Amino acid sequence: MKIGILTSGGDCPGLNSVIRGAVLKGVISHEAEFVGFRWGWKGVVEADIMPITRHDVRGLAKQGGTILGSSRTNPFEGEGGGPENIQRMLDEHGIDAIIAIGGEGTLTAARRLHDEGGINVVGVPKTIDNDLAATDYSFGFDTAVEIATEAIDRLRTTADSHGRCMVLEVMGRHVGWIALHSGMAGGAHAILIPEQPQSIEQICEWVESVRDRGRAPLVVVAEGFTLPGMNEAHSHKGLDAFNRPRLGGISEQLAPMIEERTGIESRATVLGHIQRGGAPSAYDRVLATRLGMAAVDAVYDQAWGSMVTLRGTDIRTVSIADAVGTLNRVPQSRYDEARILFG
């Protein structure tokens, strides 16, 4: 069997671990052959293909980024796009199946290629935001939380030195998992996430109560958080070409608002893509490796249109249809738990 792998969408620590897990499992257990599509679906549409041997994946589990490159190309667009063209290209290169590693957009495209064109595809969920349904955690999330937590620890000492309020903006376009976990781990005094609207008055109340206890307030905000009544028209950064809040928007608005209302000198820090760079944590390496191995099993089971997923501590296979279209939001109970710690 010849299997093509692609990594698509925003990159994520652990992508290379998935590739290594899949290749080792496929070569050792099934004598499979592997190729990679360069730059996500772009490599499929343009038949930009590279061989991946066992030798190529040596030592790859710890390497950040993706050896295949990634992009946000839609496989239904462009000259070689659409299920018919893609099937023709796969036949020409003798490729029997695709393992598509990506988030909501990638998996939706994979599902459509399978449903509408009968393409043999298996998905692997990827998102540092942890916003995909049908998987308890996605690889990359643990690494991102670790990096954000270290940032909180570092901000705390400089905040204490100056008696300032620090507002740290972390990734999370639609959901606040990174903010919730790093905020809890780092002992933030307020955690602001898209799922839980809070007024500026409430935020300032939390900040002032921290100051009144003689501490320097630390606020963690997910990039997708908005104040009630605020929309992109109020934001000086607005939305980007993908209809996402621009990085740097919300913390840079909140810090001066807090300073103005409380009189506490405030600073904003945008962590940005540092959360996606560098080596994956050991947890993410293990999870990603297991998912890569399971994706190969799904290929040999001919579980087309399915996605491998983490449920509890087990790796399972679900239909991609069950995984896309619904966000994995932070439940109220998890927020309430963290909320008690704001004091």
Active site residues: 129
Binding-site residue set for Mg(2+):
104
Binding-site residue set for substrate:
127-129, 164, 171-173, 223, 267, 273-276
Annotate 301-338 with b (16+ C-beta within 10 A) or e (fewer): eebbbbbbbbeeeebebbebbebbeeebbbeeebbeeb
Nearer to ligand F6P, 121 or 250 (CB): 250
- CB atoms under 10 Å from CB of 94, counted, come to 10
Binder among 33, 129, 169, 259 for ligand F6P (CB under 6 A): 129
**Spatial contact of 142 and 279, defined as CB atoms under 8 Å apart:** no
CB of 176 to ligand F6P, least distance (A): 11
Instruction: Identify residues 263-282 at the interface with ligand F6P (CB under 6 A).
Output: 276
Q: Give the three-class secondary structure for 132.
A: strand
Helices (H), 213-281: 249-262
* Sheet (strand 266-270) strand order: 190-192, 218-222, 165-170, 266-270
According to the binding rule CB under 6 A, does residue 173 interact with ligand F6P? yes
Cα–Cα distance, 316 to 19 (Å, whole number): 18
Instruction: Identify residues 3-32 at the interface with ligand F6P (CB under 6 A).
Output: 10
CB of 246 to ligand F6P, least distance (A): 9
Nearer to ligand F6P, 233 or 241 (CB): 241
Instruction: Identify residues 297-336 at the interface with ligand F6P (CB under 6 A).
Output: none
Cα–Cα distance, 229 to 115 (Å, whole number): 40
CB of 174 to ligand F6P, least distance (A): 8
Site map for ligand F6P, 224-263, x if CB under 6 A? --------------------x-------------------
Structure tokens at 52: 């991946």
Amino acid type, 91: D
CB of 129 to ligand F6P, least distance (A): 5
CB of 223 to ligand F6P, least distance (A): 6
Binding-site residue set for ATP:
10, 72-73, 103-106
Binder among 159, 165, 171, 320 for ligand F6P (CB under 6 A): 171
Q: Of 212, 149, 211, 157, which is closest to residue 184 (Cα–Cα)?
A: 149
Binding site for ligand F6P (CB under 6 A): 10, 103, 127-129, 171-173, 223, 244, 276
